[in-house]
Amino acid sequence: MDRELALEFARVTEAAALASARWMGRGDKNAADDAATEAMRAVFDTIRMDGRVVIGEGEMDEAPMLYIGEKLGTCESGDLDFDIAVDPVEGTSVVAKGLNGSIAVLAAARRGCLLHAPDMYMNKIAVGPAAAGKVHLDAPVEQNLRNVAEALRKDVEDLTVVILDRPRHEEIIRRCRSVGTRIQLIQDGDVAPAVATAFPDSGIDMMMGIGGAPEGVIAAAAIRCLGGDMQARLCPDSPEEEARCRKMGLEDPRKILLLDDLVSGEGVIFAATGITDGSLLKGVKITSQGALTHTVVIRGRTGTVRFINALHRLEKKPYFGRGRCDCEEE
């Protein structure tokens, strides 16, 4: 069933990417997200599984679709029970501005195997298989860089580290530059760069910094499948957020979360489709013949990685309204 579901999940992220891509560069990030969410939800409802959203668009009173706790799929409880983490558009502002690096992404695992991360900040560090076990979240930045360089048989000056371009990362950036490490600053969306660390030809060796906790769990699913390494720590900034962490079962909200704490079990599946071009995936291209998508699907049980290039037939209309996908799978 994992094999069949992996391809079904590819259909889910393809639909979301196609719908969101209609809004590229049009300045409306909410419309891009709404379109992707609606398309993703529609395909989920055709899949034979008993799915439950554990990371989604928000609580039930905040999100009309793909809310936390929402049931997905056509089956009742049974052998096909999965927890689902979704981000219909990772990088909504990126899509709205027509920039690079946005994806539609999901992760799935057997019930209880995904950390139910609250919507708050998380400090993360991620590397690929060759550097697994060589980094620590509390180690000095310089030490982590030297360890990764040694593991990859590179000079520190030849490493490429991805960091979100935020004022909170000024010290990390300064310390990376002090040892000569190359830095790729991104505006939004750290899932794809984290996953890209596990692909030697991506050009990305390491991802570090503070980003979203839900995105951290989704990235951890792929990194686990690929044999990489990731550590994280939640960053609650209020008593209310600390209470949410404890409600999740984390007695110490600021403990270091290892990869097994974020994602466990073998039945993990990760799928992502590019919306705009990035280091890992190409974005949606609309041609006279239809729309081209580029998707990666990863299965934890076998470690299989599939890159899927697909051509989708598009219904031609003079205007594609809000929330419309207007695509038909070929």
Q: Per the annotation, does 215 bind a ligand?
A: yes
Provide CATH code, domain 121-262. Answer: 3.40.190.90
Specify the CATH class of 1-114+267-313 in words. alpha beta
Judge whether 279 and 192 are in contact, CB under 8 Å: yes
Rounded average pLDDT over 71-85: 83
Read off the tokens for 216: 């951290």
**What residues contact 323, with CB distance under 8 A and at least 6 apart?**
19, 31, 34, 35, 38
Q: Per the annotation, does 92 bind a ligand?
A: yes
Each residue's pLDDT tens digit, 268-302: 999 999 999 998 999 999 999 999 999 999 999 99
Q: Per the annotation, does 216 bind a ligand?
A: no
Q: Per the annotation, does 167 bind a ligand?
A: yes
8-17, 112-121, 309-318: least confidently modelled range: 309-318
Q: Per the annotation, does 121 bind a ligand?
A: yes
Read off the tokens for 272: 């992502």
Q: Per the annotation, does 57 bind a ligand?
A: yes
Nearest to 105 by CA among 256, 259, 217: 217
Q: Per the annotation, does 4 bind a ligand?
A: no
E strands of 165-238, at which residues? 182-186, 206-212, 229-234
The residue written with tokens 């558009």 in the block is 89
Domain ranges for the chain, please list them: 1-114+267-313, 121-262
**What residues contact 238, with CB distance under 8 A and at least 6 apart?**
none
pLDDT value at 105 more than 50: yes
Q: Per the annotation, does 299 bind a ligand?
A: no
Q: Per the annotation, does 188 bind a ligand?
A: yes
